[in-house]
Amino acid sequence: MDFKLPDIGEGVHEGEIVKWLVKTGDSLAADQPMVEVMTDKATVEIPSPVAGTVAEILANEGQTIEVGKVIIRIAEAGKTAPAKQAEKVEQKQVAPTPATSKPAERVVESAVEVDESLPFHILATPATRKLARDLSVDLRTVKGTGLHGRVTKMDVQLAHEGHQAATPRSSHASLAVTPAVSTQRASVPAVVRGALQVVPLKGVRKKIAESMSYSKHTAAHFTYVEEVDMSAVVKLRASAQEEAQKRGVKLTYLPFIIKALIPALMEFPYLNSSLDDEKQEIILKGDYNIGVATDTPNGLMVPVIKAADRKTIWELATEIQLLSEKARTGKISLEDMKGGTFTVTNAGSIGGVLATPVINHPEVAILGVNAIRKRPVVKNDQIVIGDVMFLSMSVDHRVVDGADAARFMNRLIYFLSEPSRLVFA
């Protein structure tokens, strides 16, 4: 069979071949990882949809391939499913039906077991079933993303973590997002005096370069900076640390900032929009999906907190912690990284007074959160020590005027300076 680069996700039209995990002549098992492909969203590991032998590899490492182009030829193994098993299951795929109807039937391939004691036939290899048993995962609760709805090991692992992707990521096979390099940031040795060291621009760094260049050359950036007294948020967070420990949640300042962003975005919808350059249309978003720029060993990634307006501080903190960990360990999915409407980038934990962040295209604004430092502030005509933070917001001037950006920032500061106001927002 000719295996084509699959439609990896929304808005992805091409991918860079990062690394082949097989070579010509190798034997392949169904679901065995074949190749790592880098898109502008993430690095994905694509497994083989069938068992067989690698006949020919048609794409080189470092080459950019369009979706739908053949990248590998596989000589399929003969059908070896036991006749007894073949008699049990009709060889066709039928759309799932309600539990009250006759159970849906799906294709069964060799080395795939079917459990007919369940309301629906569940396709999974013995190894996947063993993993599910080891992790105490009920396969009836897992949505298969493999060929013909087969449950894969990655599906079980994601279900175990409690955050399985809602939809299949490919019509060919399940796509596991994996790190392109070690999860530990590689240390670069000092360059010998007088020498030059050449580092290829590829992988995540290449995609970051392309995305940032496109954004800077497309959006008309301007940056607005304001300071906010975070003393009330600092005290509120400190008072909640005991509860955070009980819940096993790392409570940072980001959940409070995101919580304050929501009413401000609702009042200024153009900040929560995108610009369709081709159609010349401004698209105002009714959803509030907040991207959180995350520093990872593989480069900058932006996991997205969906429906942030419907989440509590604790839910936001939990999701930030989970998505950040998945991004840093290479387990982030494409579903986790799409659909953002506004992005927050936080360098405050590292340091810095202010920044001029680059907009995460096609969004129209990004908020830079900087370090909180003790500074003199004036309260009731008295100079006192306050916990002050600078907010740096870059905005697309094609969509948002400077005055509206300033009004938006004032509204955000209104809620951050006294978080109890969020109760009435």
* Structure-block tokens of residue 19: 């690394």
How many of the other CB atoms lie within 10 Å of CB of 212? 15
**Sign of dihedral through CA atoms 262, 266, 270, 272?**
positive
DSSP-derived secondary structure for 76-91: EPPP---HHHHHHS-S
Is 172 marked active-site?
no
Residue pair 271/408 in contact (Cβ under 8 Å)? The answer is: yes
Of all residues in the chain, what percent are helix, strand and coil, respectively (each to 5)?
30, 25, 45
Strands 281-284 and 299-301: unpaired
HSE-CB for 192 with a 13 A CA cutoff = 1
Contacts 24+ apart (CB under 8 A), 148-152: 148/93, 148/106, 148/107, 148/109, 148/123, 149/93, 149/106, 149/123, 150/31, 150/109, 150/112, 150/123, 150/124, 150/125, 151/122, 151/123, 151/124, 152/31, 152/47, 152/124, 152/128, 152/176
Q: What b/e sequence results for 142-175 when a residue is b if at least 16 CB atoms lie within 10 Å of its CB, and e otherwise?
A: bebbbbebbbbbbbbbbbbeebbbeebbbebbbb
Residue 317, token pair as written in the block = 């903190």
User: In sequence order, what DSSP letters do the residues of 99-136 get, joined into one string?
Assistant: TTSPPP-----TT-EE-TTSSS--EE-HHHHHHHHHTT
Report which of 332, 417, 406, 319 is spatially closest to residue 365, judged by C-alpha positions: 406
CA-derived radius of gyration, the chain: 25
Collapsing DSSP to helix, strand or coil, 378 comes out as: strand
Residue written as token pair 């053949």: 70
CA distance 130 to 119: 20
> Helix (H, G, I), strand (E, B), or coil: what is residue 385?
strand
3-class secondary structure, 293: strand
Catalytic residues: 397
